[in-house]
Amino acid sequence: MSTEEKSLHFIEQIIEDSLSNGFPQDKLRFRFPPEPNGYLHIGHAKSICLNFGLGLKYNAPVNLRFDDTNPAKEEQEYVDAIKEDLQWLGFNWAEERYASDYFQQLYDWAVKMIKNGKAYIDSQSSEDMASQKGTPTQPGVDGPYRNRSVEENLTLFEGMKNGDFEEGSHVLRAKIDMTSTNMLMRDPLMYRVLHRHHHRTGNDWKIYPMYDFAHGESDYIEQISHSICTLEFVMHRELYNWFLDQIYDDSKVKPHQYEFARLNLNYTVMSKRKLLQLVQENIVNGWDDPRMPTISGLRRRGYTANSIRKFCDIIGVAKRENIIDFSLLEFCLREDLNKSAPRVMAVLDPIKLVITNYPEDKEEWLEAENNQEDESAGFRKVPFSRELFIEREDFLDDAPAKFFRLSLGREVRLKNAYIIKGESVIKDAAGNITEIHVTYDEDSRSGSGSEASQRKVAGTLHWVSIQHALETEVRLYDRLFIDEAPDSHKEKNFLEFMNPSSLQIVKGFVEPSLAMVQSGEKFQFQRLGYFNVDKDTAEGKIVFNKTVGLKDAWEEKGKKEENLLMNTQKEINKYVKEKDENNANLILNSIVENIKSIDNYSLIIQTIVKNIKNDNNSLLFSNLILHHSDKVQVKDIEEESLTKFYTMSLKSQMAAVRILAIENLQNDLSNFNLFQTQLSELKTNEKNEKVLQLLNDLKI
């Protein structure tokens, strides 16, 4: 096998095998078939890149087909947004098609199936149909209407089409096998009555085909050779083929369905229903909110089409589900923006800096490189004056040895400008620094070639001249959720994991070269990250969105929280061994504060469960976390683990563990009642006064 063949993903290998077995290359045809009931998200991008990528590789047409069979949820707004997203991603479709284009043909085929005894009208309630269908382990049974005559079925179906019946009164079902091990084959629905306005066909139709019926037949009409779906449709393949078998003409291409693993990305949700909930409940500001995983949201935030295509290429096409780290998407974005985004200076948390030995009326225009990664990007002029803004965090009046920014008595370089030295500060009545006074070395200008300019200093700071700075609104976006899998926890609403800091709006100042920026332009704010000009920008108002930081802050935060919990557990040992009560309380307070600072829900749960073992210190740690963390509740822990946890804690030799276990049980009434016997036994044998007092207070 050649190197090229080894690099093929399994879908490409299937196509290569088809061609090797005589399938004509000019008959290859693919499609991307979104349902227009929401905006496309990053998960759809994988399918888009796969289907259109195959089209490019094999020089085959790719249709854009809207599977618009449910007028209750579909809108023209979604159709327009999907087309815009596809074009922005850089893909062009061969034909724009709609399942609604085929409504008459689908109806005619359904009539044919009724005549052939392959479909019938069922008039049961949905509840009765569900009961009659059986379960995965119990076969279904024939319904009371399964053997209606062809004539009665045809009459009823025409009446459904004409609007003679209410919604839910009748459905058309395929007549297959009510005992099939595949529940989808147990007489699935083909049509239902819906008196809804369709965004394309208006009120022409009163019945609409089900997705499973319309999808494969639409593929057949368009002569799609390889119908590529995600893994949740594996069980649908048998039904897909059965529907095709009812209408297939062997002079035409018969589509075949193949499944690949969809994209699962951590720290977000991919369900259209949940994304719609975020929009409808105004938790986000529309489908294109820069915190949303939608293509339009990513575009508005400042993502590039190239970075998304690169991301989809890196993750590849697989048969097995896995979860991709959001950091990989951000890595692809940084790589792309690093090459293309001009460097500029902006200050987002400004503090005034005065160069006391710089002439008050002097003004210089210094040369600054636009992008060191792109030689053709050239240079620009930035104004320099006596009074500047720098970032507040870039100065400490009393700094530790490893603080490589500005402090009193230390030197730093101002980017593209001079070396300065901290001399003094001015503070307000509350003791807050309002002004920093420095001196500069006149001979140290960057690029001057002087000996002073080549002097090494601890750090380099960005800045803007106050006199020339442009005020701007900066929207600092972060991940929408604080948990890796916000919609995967039983009995937890995914909204409980919203990141309260996902959007912060600040007033910043930028250099004057940005006066005429346009929506969609991207820049690197030096030392701060990549930023995109938002569509809300207007004359006299510049709005920037933070796209991504220069480093992976979440990976850093995750490691910090893991390390903090590990170190906090070590502090438990110190707390237990400490004889002095005051010192012990200080250690305990520190432990509690550390626990409260941890945001990662999954990490907290894992830590609690991991420490449910026959070790006093470990049990103390788990009890403290459960008692003091506001990110976790007792109901979040599996019942078996929780029972073991309480049982071991109440039997612990350490009084502090027993006390915390009793207090945790107080907040868990269901288990409190279950442990009445053990609590009574504990009271009988307890020697510790604090534990006894607590039990007495509870009237055990």
Q: Which residues sit in the known binding site for L-glutamine?
A: 67, 211
Pairwise CA distance, residues 309 & 519, whole Å: 22
Q: Is 681 a catalytic residue?
A: no
For residue 364, give every residue at least 6 positions away whose Cβ sits within 8 Å of its Cβ, in sequence order, or none.
383, 384, 385
Q: Show binding-site residues for ATP.
A: 35-37, 41-47, 230, 262-263, 270-272
Pairwise CA distance, residues 308 & 32, whole Å: 17
Q: Show binding-site residues.
A: 35-37, 41-47, 67, 211, 230, 262-263, 270-272
For residue 403, give every residue at least 6 positions away whose Cβ sits within 8 Å of its Cβ, in sequence order, or none.
396
Dmax (CA) of the chain: 101
Q: Which of 148, 192, 237, 272 is catalytic?
A: 272
Tokens of 529: 């990250």
Q: Which residues pair with 369 in a beta bridge?
A: 379
Residues 226, 28: contact at Cβ < 8 Å? yes
Tokens of 160: 């459904």
DSSP 8-state symbol, 640 = H
Q: Which of 161, 196, 200, 262 is catalytic?
A: 262
CA distances from residue 495 to 152, 278, 428, 481, 492 in whole angstroms, order as listed? 49, 9, 42, 8, 8
Q: Is 16 a catalytic residue?
A: no
Q: Is 272 a catalytic residue?
A: yes
DSSP 550-580: SS-HHHHHHHHHHHHHHHHHHHHHHHHH--S
Would strands 406-407 and 395-396 be described as parallel, antiparallel, or unpaired?
parallel
Instruction: Annotate 299-362 with three-state secondary structure.
Output: HHHCCCHHHHHHHHHHHCCCCCCCEECHHHHHHHHHHHHHHHCCEECEECCEEEEEECCCCCCC
Q: Whats the size of the chain, residue-wise?
A: 700
Per DSSP, the three-state class of 60 is coil
Phi-psi region for residue 118, left (φ > 0), alpha (ψ -120 to 50) or beta? alpha
Would strands 323-324 and 264-265 be described as parallel, antiparallel, or unpaired?
parallel
CA distances from residue 186 to 50, 58, 170, 652 in whole angstroms, order as listed? 32, 38, 17, 56
Catalytic amino acids? Answer: 35, 262, 272
